[in-house]
Amino acid sequence: MRVLVVEDDAETGAYICKGLRESGHVVDAVASGSDAVQLLLREAYDAAVLDRGLPDLDGLAALKAIRAAGRDTPVLLLSALGNTDERIRGLKAGADDYMAKPFSFEELSARLQIISARRRTAAETTLACGDLEMDLLARSVTRAGKRLQLLPREFQLLEELLRNKGRVVTRTSLLERVWDYRFDPHTSLIDTHMSRLRKKVDDGFDRALLHTVRGVGFRIAEEP
């Protein structure tokens, strides 16, 4: 999974990040609610660990902001306030789960897995952009009714772009989520695969859907 950890206490944040990375997850970490909102609106995460008490924008306000913007990233809310009323406030604000401090990493990890799996199960089975449609159950892609023959890695790349339709997906993000690589994002690996994918998705059609954002990454969108 790719997980965002939002915790202003350096020791607690390091503890969570270390455990998640040792469990094989890709982890980003920030210490403020405003930074969390920016990242969650810009990037795709499988789950987020969000501290309730943050210095600039508290966890509840940050959570309400991303939910209001339509982001459904599974969120585990952490708080030193563990009474029933606070738990209810957190869940009503849009948290998928709530844990009181202190906590065990094993329980936190298990809860993250559960809320992430729950959200994937409830997720849509089709993705689309214009006349391009992807059926996640049938593992098929069509454009204007024509079946596109994609290789497994091309399908994964396109799925990642469609899940972030209209937003730029960085090279680093694609390497981590499609190849599970953590190295130089300027490698030609992505460009090679994107070139092949673009030929299959856009060649022969009036409008291009796949766009390169120079020096940053790629985006799928309907543009004039």
Q: Among 122, 147, 162, give the residue marking a domain's end.
A: 122
The answer to which of 69-78, 125-134, 182-191 has the lowest mean pLDDT is 182-191
| Overall average pLDDT of the 179-199 stretch | 77
Residues 211 and 141 in one domain: yes
| Domain total of the chain | 2
Rg (CA), the chain: 19
CA distance 179 to 74: 22
Number of other CB atoms surrounding residue 213 within 10 Å? 12
**What's the pLDDT band for 7 if we cut at 50, 70, 90?**
very high
Using DSSP, state whether 168 is helix, strand or coil. coil
Residues 12 and 118 in one domain: yes
Q: Which domain holds residue 52?
A: 2-122
Give pLDDT, residue 178.
81
Residues 87 and 154 in one domain: no
Phi-psi region of 220 (alpha: psi -120 to 50; beta: other; left: phi over 0): beta
Q: Are 77 and 90 in contact (CB under 8 A)?
A: yes
186 vs 45, higher pLDDT: 45
Q: Among 122, 151, 183, give the residue marking a domain's end.
A: 122
The domain that contains 210 carries what CATH number? 1.10.10.10
Residues 86 and 112 in one domain: yes
Residues 18 and 88 in one domain: yes
**What's the pLDDT band for 171 if we cut at 50, 70, 90?**
confident
22-56: per-residue pLDDT in tens?
A: 888 889 999 999 999 999 998 888 899 999 999 88
67-110: per-residue pLDDT in tens?
A: 998 888 999 999 988 788 888 988 999 999 999 998 999 999 99
The domain that contains 67 carries what CATH number? 3.40.50.2300
Q: Among 101, 122, 143, give the residue marking a domain's end.
A: 122
Residues 151 and 114 in one domain: no
Residues 45 and 134 in one domain: no
Residues 11 and 90 in one domain: yes
Residues 94 and 185 in one domain: no
CA distance 37 to 32: 9
Alpha helices in the chain, H assignment, sequence order: 10-22, 33-42, 59-68, 84-92, 105-122, 152-163, 171-174, 188-202
Residues 161 and 97 in one domain: no
